Amino acid sequence: MSYETILYETADNVATITLNRPDSLNAFNDQMIGETTDAFKQASRDKAVRCVVITGSGRGFSSGQDLADVQAREGDFSIGDHLRHGYHRLIKQMVRLEKPIVAAVNGVAAGAGCGVALAADLRLASDKASFILAFSRVGLIPDSGTNWLLPRIIGYGRAYELAITADRLTADKALEWGVVNRVVPHDQLMETVAAWTGPLATGATLAYGLTKRAMHRAFDQSLAEALDYEAYLQETAARSHDFSEGVAAFVEKRPAEFRGK
């Protein structure tokens, strides 16, 4: 599929998705929601891809739902159906993708753009990045998975405060609160991302994916269920090439050559 609202590139086992509507700070229209979802699907199916980066072109990461499109809606428009058929597919595709997703947050991430950044597994931020739960500014509640993801990352009190104030969370505060993993000077963002994705894309991809599945599933499990599920997934990890190779490399005192399977 060729894309018009995003860029999709693969190199060195890393797929990079760039949201590419810079004039609106990469606001999501329906086409961009569909294309981004498709790009994550493509990254999931491509065995050569072992890590995915999502970023924005221009000065924003994403300003969320395109409000010009919202204003142009006519008739009996169902926002619930719009979410179900659009953002929900995108967020589920990201959370179910069993490869690490790194959000390179280059600027503001607002509304659904914030939800998409939160659905990544790791967030590396430019010092110009910020997060705004802009939903309440237009009389909406957080969506795109934000109600599920954000309280898990920063706790209910902080998440609720950000939701009802729609205050801008700066990059430094986001680091302090654990929303982002690192903050770097803006001009060093993509080289920092490459320094992270290089090892991720040559690492134990299967184990990284199963870890993501185990941690997400554990949110809804009792301790006993989580222990059982860990043991089940560990059987799969232990049957991998990477497990044999990792153990052999340790014993032979040499670097492991993982294949991601």
Interaction site with ligand T3D (CB under 6 A): 24-25, 27, 63-68, 70, 79, 82-83, 108, 110-112, 132, 134-135, 137-138, 140, 143
- 143 an active-site residue? yes
Contact (Cβ atoms closer than 8 angstroms) between residue 110 and residue 64: yes
Q: Whole-number minimum distance, CB 251 to ligand T3D, in Å?
A: 52
What are the residues whose beta carbons fall under 8 Å from the beta carbon of 239, sequence distance 6 or more?
Answer: none
**Closer CB to ligand T3D, 96 or 137, in the complex:** 137
- 228 an active-site residue? no
Q: Whole-number minimum distance, CB 130 to ligand T3D, in Å?
A: 8
Q: Whole-number minimum distance, CB 184 to ligand T3D, in Å?
A: 20
The Cβ-side half-sphere exposure at 170, using a 13 Å CA radius, reads 3
38, 66, 121, 143: which one is catalytic? Answer: 143
Q: Whole-number minimum distance, CB 186 to ligand T3D, in Å?
A: 14
Tally the residues of the chain. Answer: 261
Residue 50 identity: R
The Cβ-side half-sphere exposure at 131, using a 13 Å CA radius, reads 31
Comparing C-alpha atoms, which of 124, 129, 118 is closest to residue 193? Answer: 124
Q: Whole-number minimum distance, CB 134 to ligand T3D, in Å?
A: 4
Comparing C-alpha atoms, which of 135, 6, 33 is closest to residue 87? Answer: 33
Burial of 206 (0-12, 13-18, 19+ CB in 10 A): buried
30, 88, 167, 241: which one is catalytic? Answer: 88
Question: Strand pairing partners for 182?
Answer: 124
**Closer CB to ligand T3D, 140 or 233, in the complex:** 140
Question: Strand pairing partners for 9?
Answer: 16
Contact (Cβ atoms closer than 8 angstroms) between residue 231 and residue 221: no
Contact (Cβ atoms closer than 8 angstroms) between residue 40 and residue 94: yes
Q: Which residues are known catalytic residues?
A: 88, 143
